[in-house]
Amino acid sequence: MSAGMTVRAVIFDWSGTVVDFGSRAPAAAFVEVFREFGVELSEAEARGPMGLPKWDHLRALGDLPRIGAAWRAAHGRAFENADVDRLHEVFEPLTARVAARHAALVPGVVEAVRELRRRGVKIGSTTGYTRPIMERVGPLAAEHGFAPDNLVCAGDLPAGRPTPLMMYRCFVDLAVWPARAVVKVDDTAPGLVEATAAGSWAVGVAMSGNAVGLAPEELARLGAGEQARLRDAATDALRAAGAHYVIDTVADLLPVVDAIDARLAAGESPPAPPP
| Catalytic residue (one of 20, 54, 186, 248) | 54
122 classed as catalytic = no
54 classed as catalytic = yes
* DSSP assignments along 87-122, one per residue: HHHHHHHHHHHHHHTT-PBPTTHHHHHHHHHHTT-E
- SS3 labels along 3-38: CCCCCCEEEECCECCCECCCCHHHHHHHHHHHHHCC
| Catalytic residue (one of 13, 20, 56, 187) | 13
Q: String of b and e for 132-154 (b: at least 16 CB within 10 Å)?
A: ebbebbbebbeeeebebbbbbbb
Q: String of b and e for 199-233 (b: at least 16 CB within 10 Å)?
A: ebbbbbbbbbbbbbbbeeeebeeeeeeebeebbee
Just list the catalytic residues: 13, 54
